[in-house]
Structure 1
Amino acid sequence: MEHIRLNIEGRLKPTVESLFAEVFVLKELKPNEIVLFCSFSGYNIPVGHRFSEISHKGVTYKCNMVLKAVSQQFFKPFDEIPYGWKTICKFEFSDGEIPDDVKKLPALDGWAYVNENLVFQ
């Protein structure tokens, strides 16, 4: 199976969380879930897809992460990350803890001014 790569640009800034509260059911966000800004996808990636590695600045971390929900700038839920789209996605780390490197990503309110990329495979 081909590795699916997805570039992550940062976490959702607290000041914009309320805009996505309904689509991601943020009031029920678990401690092992996080909402992230994703760059252009080179694949159609369905909700439920499992990622097994995180690469950040050339360092790869093993993980067990599931794509739980997908939206975009107009707060509409999607069944998948569409090919060629920038999206905002909720992920669940099945092993329990969100890795510290993911927690330390910049908090963004959009796709501008991105300094770091995190690649999920």
Structure 2
Amino acid sequence: MKTSQILAAAALSLFAAAGAQAETYEGVNTAVSTKSRDEINAEAVRAASSPNQNVPRGSRGQETVAVSKDRAIVEVEAVRTAYAPDQNVGSGSRVNSKVISNMRHPMDVNVQAQQSSGATAK
């Protein structure tokens, strides 16, 4: 029984010795900067004295937006997407699934119906 206690104490002291190794101190790291201290101070003064720096975004009125498409085109695209039969189906709906739309779009069906009815009326 004493030998098991001695072996346990020896193993514990080996673990303690391995864990007691300290890191070496390499001193304070020096700061690396491309600007001088005076340039940084001048930039801080400019930023601190700028007007309305703490006003939340959107509180000054509407922001301008760059328009890239005509409003009517965007509206038609939105309506077409809203009426798509498989708009809520995504590839992540089921594991390892792929979305292959076999369903005809209702807007296409309506256009074809109007064209076919117009062709027979002539």
Structure with the bigger RCO (C-alpha within 8 Å, sep 6+) is: 1
Using structure 1 for the length normalisation, give the TM-score: 0.15
Task: Point out the structure with max Rg over C-alpha.
Answer: 2
